């Protein structure tokens, strides 16, 4: 394993393959959860959809492998959601529920899926209200979110913040509506004003299909890409890659 340290708030970690990527991601979550619980009494994490995190999610259900997070004191949120029923194969909440959320002792009240019923604007508004309720409780000096996991699309999108979208340009709201991605669906997404206040963001990329966009973000440093606009005020951004995704660095 090759680990490149890039500075106090920015790291690139390269793992040999997708399985090691999943292990490292799960370890980062468990470590961050334990530290946050010690410090703040609870852990707040937001996760993304797509294929990349699914192996990591499956590991989180495996306490016997040592992935023991303080679930009773964990709150889980979604960075974005496709507006389809939770039972759909395209639902981010549905996938995470099947992979680990239903298998770990997370209290029901600590699970905060993005609402998918009704008009997209109403779903976004309701999730913003839910986030404010959940994140403004507790110490005012703690970060709003302890950890956010993001994937990256081949166009550089993260969450459902697509290049050229109004959601990407949002300056105030924490949640916005958006349309795009594969499958092309109406979506609700956290925005940069919220994501950039997190204590730590992990951007995961796996496979040769991501090598170009990872190079554009990390070598060419294209500042207009949604992924490079993830820039934390006081926190850490970690790019967690496998060797194929890192092959053009």
Q: What are phi and psi of 26, to 5 degrees?
A: -65, -40
Tokens of 239: 């790019």
Pairing mode of beta strands 10-15, 2-5: antiparallel
The Cα 130–Cα 126 span in angstroms is 6
By CB under 6 A, tell whether 158 contacts ligand 6PG.
yes
DSSP 97: I
Positions in 96-125 near ligand 6PG (CB under 6 A): none
Q: Are 153 and 213 in contact (CB under 8 A)?
A: yes
Residue 159 or 168: the one with the smaller Cβ distance to ligand 6PG is 159
Pairing mode of beta strands 185-190, 80-82: antiparallel
By CB under 6 A, tell whether 80 contacts ligand 6PG.
yes
By CB under 6 A, tell whether 91 contacts ligand 6PG.
no
Q: How far is the CB of 91 from ligand 6PG (least distance, A)?
A: 9
Residue 70 or 207: the one with the smaller Cβ distance to ligand 6PG is 207
Q: Are 60 and 104 in contact (CB under 8 A)?
A: yes
Residue 42 or 211: the one with the smaller Cβ distance to ligand 6PG is 211
By CB under 6 A, tell whether 25 contacts ligand 6PG.
no
> In what helix (H) or strand (E) does residue 34 lie, and over which residues does it extend?
helix 18-40
Residue 13 or 159: the one with the smaller Cβ distance to ligand 6PG is 159
The Cα 238–Cα 110 span in angstroms is 25
By CB under 6 A, tell whether 51 contacts ligand 6PG.
yes
Q: Of the candidates 25, 49, 94, 156, which one interacts with ligand 6PG according to CB under 6 A?
A: 49
| Residue closest to ligand 6PG (Cβ) | 151
| Residues in contact with ligand 6PG by the rule CB under 6 A | 48-52, 80, 82, 92, 151-153, 157-159, 181
């Amino acid at each position: 394993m090759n680990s490149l340290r890039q500075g106090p708030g920015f790291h690139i970690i390269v793992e040999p393959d997708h399985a090691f990527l999943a292990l490292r991601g799960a370890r980062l979550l468990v470590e961050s959860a334990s530290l946050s619980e010690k410090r703040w009494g609870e852990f707040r994490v937001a996760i993304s959809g797509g294929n990349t995190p699914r192996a990591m999610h499956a590991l989180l259900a495996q306490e016997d492998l040592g992935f023991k997070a303080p679930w009773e004191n964990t709150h889980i949120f979604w960075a974005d959601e496709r507006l389809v029923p939770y039972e759909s194969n395209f639902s981010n909440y549905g996938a995470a529920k099947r992979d680990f959320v239903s298998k770990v002792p997370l209290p029901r009240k600590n699970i905060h899926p993005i609402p998918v019923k009704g008009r997209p604007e109403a779903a976004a508004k309701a999730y913003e209200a839910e986030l404010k309720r959940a994140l403004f409780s507790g110490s005012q000096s703690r970060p709003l979110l302890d950890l956010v996991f993001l994937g990256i699309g081949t166009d550089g999108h993260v969450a459902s913040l697509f290049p050229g979208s109004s959601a990407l340009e949002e300056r105030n709201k924490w949640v916005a509506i958006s349309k795009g991605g594969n499958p092309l669906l109406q979506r609700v997404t956290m925005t940069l004003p919220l994501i950039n206040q997190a204590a730590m963001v992990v951007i995961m990329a796996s496979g040769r299909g991501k090598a170009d966009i990872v190079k554009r973000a990390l070598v060419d440093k294209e500042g207009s890409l949604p992924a490079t606009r993830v820039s934390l005020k006081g926190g850490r951004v970690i790019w967690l890659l496998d060797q194929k995704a890192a092959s053009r660095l």
